[in-house]
Amino acid sequence: MIPELSNFEIYEQDLAYMKNEHHGVVTFIHCLNDFNREIVDWVQSLGAKRNNLYVNYYRLYSFCHYPDLFTDQFPNFTYVYKPELLFLHPHKYINFNDLPKIRKVKFEKTFCFLNNRSTKSRKELFNFFKDNQILDMSYASYNNVSNRGRYGARGKIEDEILQPYKNFLEDKVHTDIDPSIGNFYPVHNFLFDVCAETYCTENYIGLTEKSIKPFLWGYIPLIYGPPGTYQYLKNLGFDVFDNIIDTSFDNELNHGHRMWRFQQEVLRLSKISLTNYDIVQLESRFYNNRTVYLKNVQRCLNTINWIKQETNFLIANREQYLGF
């Protein structure tokens, strides 16, 4: 448990929130990488009156950008967007006070493209890699996981490939992938970490460890996510290597157009010799990104302390929000 969350409790694990309830004021902190897809329905259920009264006042702090919640249609609910909270979940698995050094840059492959859970976008992208002979220049896997506990609804059998695929050996073979594994790498000595995010066709930006771990461990992220993903990361202070990657695909609102442009960028990068990259410059930029990552980790903890102060303020002034 993170000390800053000592007065919070887990609220409905599938919703990935921590909850603090006191004197009619209920604070939620979005603390995991999983999102409530029916977020508006959930908020409406919270805001229902009892005996024609609003019994509680609710406030949700989330790193997930939900445009539909920027509204005053929920009288006893407020949504506060705090992107720093994205860095709360990795605390469960990573000791930020004792990090190993970033590896020296060496190239054996151009891409790392790892897929555990089967999704439509990942299958489409995997088939693109296969059809364009890009798998050979990648550490690649497609594990065909379509049903794993509470995550089963997100992996569909129709999104599996004919046989599970993995073209590399690991020191330890994982028959099932614990969430901690997602924060690390089973392979090294590549340049681009390619991922199709869990939520990449939704109308909100909700990132997972897939998008942020390259900044910690020294790789260039090549992310297929919702439009605006790269700007989101730039706003957090990261170098997104947009002098190396043409991130124009990130501006496409149409899913089909965005996927096609992303594929074309992968194809373009696949044709560039790894000898063209300045290793010394890359190592410097990787080091700077780790520094930015750690600053965001601290900002995340500072944000939690600020949320606690806000909660105390709401409790002390509950009559302004609830009327009693």
pLDDT at 84: 94
Closest CA to 250 of 219, 193, 289, 205: 205
pLDDT for residue 75: 83
Give every strand in the sheet of 220-224, ordered side by side.
165-166, 138-145, 111-117, 192-196, 220-224
The pLDDT-based confidence of 175 (bands split at 50, 70, 90) is low
φ, ψ of residue 312 in degrees (nearest 5) = -60, -35
Cβ neighbours for 5, distance < 8 A, ≥ 6 positions apart: 18, 29, 31, 304
- DSSP structural state of residue 31: -
Range of 120-124, 181-185, 319-323 with top mean pLDDT: 120-124
HEC string for 152-211:
HHHCCHHHCCCCCEECCCCCCCCCCCCHHHHHCCCCCCCCEEEEECCCCCCCCECCCHHH
pLDDT at 156 over 50: yes
Specify the pairing of strand 9-11 against strand 17-22.
antiparallel
Quick one: which of 217, 216, 200, 214 has its CA closest to 244? 214
Q: Which of 68, 220, 194, 69 is nearest to 137 (CA)?
A: 194
Q: How many CB atoms lie within 10 A of CB 281?
A: 10
How far apart CA 137 and CA 109 sit, in angstroms, is 5
Closest CA to 16 of 4, 38, 33: 33
Q: Under a CB-based contact definition with an 8 Å cutoff, are residues 65 and 81 in contact?
A: yes
List the single range of 99-113, 144-158, 193-207, 285-299 with lowest mean pLDDT. Answer: 144-158
Per-residue pLDDT, 171:
65
Give the other-Cβ count within 10 Å of 278's Cβ: 10
Q: Are strands 57-62 and 25-30 parallel, antiparallel or unpaired?
A: parallel
Q: Each residue of 26-37: pLDDT tens digit?
A: 999 988 766 666
pTM, 2 dp = 0.90
Q: Is a pLDDT exceeding 50 seen at residue 102? A: yes
Nearest by Cα to 191 from 275, 263, 259:
275
Instruction: Report CA-CA distances (Å) from 280 to 109, 137, 199, 235, 287.
Output: 18, 22, 34, 25, 11
Token representation of residue 57: 């006042």
Give the Å distances, CA to CA, from 83 to 194, 228, 259, 273.
Answer: 22, 13, 25, 36
Nearest to 221 by CA among 130, 72, 112: 112
Parallel, antiparallel or unpaired: strands 165-166 and 138-145: antiparallel
The predicted model gives 60-68 an average pLDDT of: 90
- The C-alpha atoms of residue 319 and residue 69 are separated, in whole angstroms, by 23
Is 131 within 8 Å of 214 (Cβ atoms)? no
The predicted-structure confidence for 208-238, as pLDDT tens digits, reads as follows: 999 999 999 999 999 999 999 999 999 999 9
